[in-house]
Structure 1
Amino acid sequence: MSDDLSLEERKVIYRARRGLKEIDVYFDPYVRQYYLKADAVEKALFAELVEQEDPDLLDWFMEVSQPPKPALKDLINKLKHYVHASDRVQ
């Protein structure tokens, strides 16, 4: 990561490190490959997503329940697509 990251970007990147494999499998590739290139709206959505509790995130990623905002569901689907699309390439 670069030294020219904003304080907010640094906070989000730090908060994205969960230590829970089921979530990190989605957050880590997104942070490394896409987060810093994302537009302001997507960065704000990701910041909102990483503020959620792990049990809620697990339920949303495993489609046991739905996030409270459709935009969060769309972002979760995007993160899942990034991971699963790269699985097919390898």
Structure 2
Amino acid sequence: MFSPKRYARLKWACRRGMLELDVLFLPFVETGFKDMSFEQQEVFERLLTSDDPDLFAWFMGHQQCQDPELAAMVKHILGRVKV
């Protein structure tokens, strides 16, 4: 379980330099993050350490993420956002 302080840092990390990423991450962390397992939450936290251009390319479908865990998280987030 993420402590309130760690969750607050994670939420802050969702604020990116690109509006397109903010629109994906901020609603997801507020509505879908707590529904995930601790392992998935840690993968999401690791995803946020990626560079914005890479994240943008993965989420817009321009490139495929080579890390299987991160690629699965991208797919998970996109599935929640499109519902």
Structure 2 counterparts to residues 24-35 of structure 1, below 5 A: 24-35=22-33
Residues 17-58 of structure 1: CA distance to partner in whole angstroms, max 9, x if unpaired?
114221112111211101123211111011011111100101
Aligned length: 82
TM-score, normalised with respect to structure 1: 0.79
CA distance in 2: counterparts of 1:72 and 1:51, whole angstroms? 11
- Unpaired segments ≥5 residues, structure 1: 86-90
Q: Letter of the 2:31 partner, please give it.
A: Q
**Structure 2, unaligned runs of 5 or more:** none
Partner SS, residue 67 of structure 1: coil
Provide the TM-score with structure 2 as the length reference.
0.85
Tell me the equivalent position of 1:59. 57
* Aligned mates of 2:31, 2:82 — CA distance in 1: 14
Task: Tell me the distance in 2 between the aligned counterparts of 1:68 and 1:39.
Answer: 22
**Higher gyration radius (CA):** 1
